[in-house]
Amino acid sequence: MAGALLIAGTSSDAGKSVLVAGLCRWLAQRGVRVAPFKAQNMSNNSVVTPDGGEIGRAQAMQAAAAGLEPSVRFNPVLLKPSAGNDAQVVVLGKPTGTVSALSYAERKTALMDVVLDTLAGLRAEYDAVICEGAGSPAEINLRKNDIANMGLARAANLPVLVVGDIDRGGVFAHLYGTLALLDAADQALVSGFVINKFRGDRSLLAPGLDQLRALTGRPVLGVLPWREELWLDAEDSLSYAADGVIGRPAPPVGAQWLRVAVVRLPRISNATDVEALACEPGVSVRFVTDPSRVEDADLVVLPGSKSTVDDLRWLRENGLAEAIHAHVRAGRPLLGICGGYQMLAGTITDEVESGAGAVPGLGLLDVDITFAKTKTLANPVGTAFGHAATGYEIHHGQVTRRGELDPLITTDDGDEGARHGPIAATHWHGLLENDAVRKEVLRWAADLAGRQFTVAGTVAFAEVRAAQLDLLAALVAEDLDTDAVLRLLARGAPGGLGGVPPGAPREPLSRSSAGGASPARA
């Protein structure tokens, strides 16, 4: 059976996803057949796999790093937060209902069976499996039913590396405290630490690394530097500050910048849709929550939402709905994507997500939307803005009536989306990753906004993403003790690792007896 390793973090956004991607890329470049795995992800940023399932976008990025197509096996459980404390549960790519935070705990024993079976299948097929934890393994209130962090590590006997983000400050306390809050059996699997996003002179860090090893008996296997080029494929919108610029925009080719405002909805989904725009020279893309930012923008993007009706209410309550109307009345362009498209409708009938029934939309497009119980999951192909295009669809909302509007996209199965005056809208995610389509969208937006903006002809988004994955692999090769990582994959956690007080006695989640396997199954 192949070796496997769990990358845990001191917190969300500590660097787990990028380290897993970097390790997958580095191993793949060495000819190792490697696969990523995240037992449970909580994110509204997802993609559709070739076989029509839904997984977290980070696992699709990690699959690309490993040279693989996305698969539901790489993320068997996906939680998609919606309104309140509820979340949709997606198991092996398919939605299986909505749960509350409390009721979800009751399902975890059965889900552990799914997780362990899936991981065992991957380990039988690949040379190595690099697993990603979720949040922090020291969330002691959740340890009893954990299936993503130390619960998974214990059940599958995985060595664990804990990564901490030094840019936030307090990284030594975070690393030590994470270990100290685990019980003795969990601590025995924690085999080392990784520090992420370091800036400055490493010699100043050395005494702390030595003291951390002396206190814990575990080495720091790497100090990964801060690299401002690494910003694509963020796990979720929390990685971006409100009213902050996305990416590192290059200067414009023409006389003026094109200013893009992306409305940061409270329950935004697939925020990465706009990252391709931010790769273009002279395009300044920022998430906004202030109406003045909307009115000043050249192009406004109303993105996807996991809770269309609730986020539409938020738009109205915060003056953003009127700002969007004013933007359109001025003849400036608006792009609606998925939930953003649905918000532009005359009427939205939703008995599925919000249970609100029929509510008025923004009334900017002559369409009506009705939410269906069955979720659309698809990887369509077609033509948009005169160019071949691919994308993916993830939505319950369906267009049940469309007035005399031009389609945005044509496919063999019929028209999709809508264009009307300065408005373009679609259910397709990933549309802007099509280079020719993206450049036409920018020309269309600049023309309507009256900007002297010139589209660069050299940006290929797939190459930009591949270059970032290669950079992650280079950082792993240069700044991580890769020999130690290979030993962990080959031999598991080293024996004799001491414990750190105080620890906490807890019982691990047991695998159900239905499969006849023990909780320690590898």
DSSP annotation of 249 = P
Topology classification of domain 3-219+481-503: Rossmann fold (3.40.50)
**Backbone φ, ψ for residue 22 (5° rounding):** -65, -45
Q: Which CATH class is domain 237-461?
A: alpha beta
Helical ranges in 288-399 per DSSP H: 291-296, 308-317, 320-329, 339-343
- Token readout for 197 is 């996003």
Residues of the chain within CATH 3.40.50.300 domain(s) are 3-219+481-503
Q: Which of 338, 396, 420, 427 is catalytic?
A: 338
Kindly tell me the sign of the dihedral angle through the C-alpha atoms of 266, 348, 375, 514.
positive
Residues of the chain within CATH 3.40.50.880 domain(s) are 237-461
Q: Which of 327, 395, 396, 429 is catalytic?
A: 429
Vertex 66, ends 520 and 45: CA angle to 5°? 85
How does pLDDT run across 195-254, given as a tens digit for each residue?
Answer: 999 998 888 899 999 999 999 999 999 999 988 777 766 665 455 555 678 888 889 998
The chain-wide mean pLDDT, for the chain, equals: 90
Pairwise CA distance, residues 324 & 79, whole Å: 31
How does pLDDT run across 480-522, given as a tens digit for each residue?
Answer: 999 999 999 999 999 988 888 887 655 544 444 333 333 232 3
- Token readout for 338 is 């998925």
pTM: 0.89
Pairwise CA distance, residues 429 & 431, whole Å: 6
Is 429 a residue of the active site?
Answer: yes
Stretch 114-140: mean pLDDT, rounded?
95
Is 327 a residue of the active site?
Answer: no
User: Residue 78: enclosing H or E segment and its boundaries?
Assistant: strand 77-81
Query: Strands 299-302, 128-132: parallel, antiparallel or unpaired by DSSP?
Result: unpaired
- What per-residue confidence (pLDDT) applies to 235? 62
Pairwise CA distance, residues 498 & 289, whole Å: 49
Kindly tell me the sign of the dihedral angle through the C-alpha atoms of 395, 401, 407, 412.
positive
Detail the DSSP E strand segments found in 306-441: 334-337, 347-350, 357-360, 367-378, 381-384, 387-390, 393-402, 409-411, 414-416, 418-420, 423-426
- What per-residue confidence (pLDDT) applies to 298? 97
3-state secondary structure of 199: coil
Residues with Cβ within 8 Å of 458's Cβ and at least 6 positions away in sequence, in order, are: none
- What per-residue confidence (pLDDT) applies to 236? 53
How does pLDDT run across 261-303, given as a tens digit for each residue?
Answer: 999 999 999 989 999 999 999 999 999 999 999 988 999 999 9
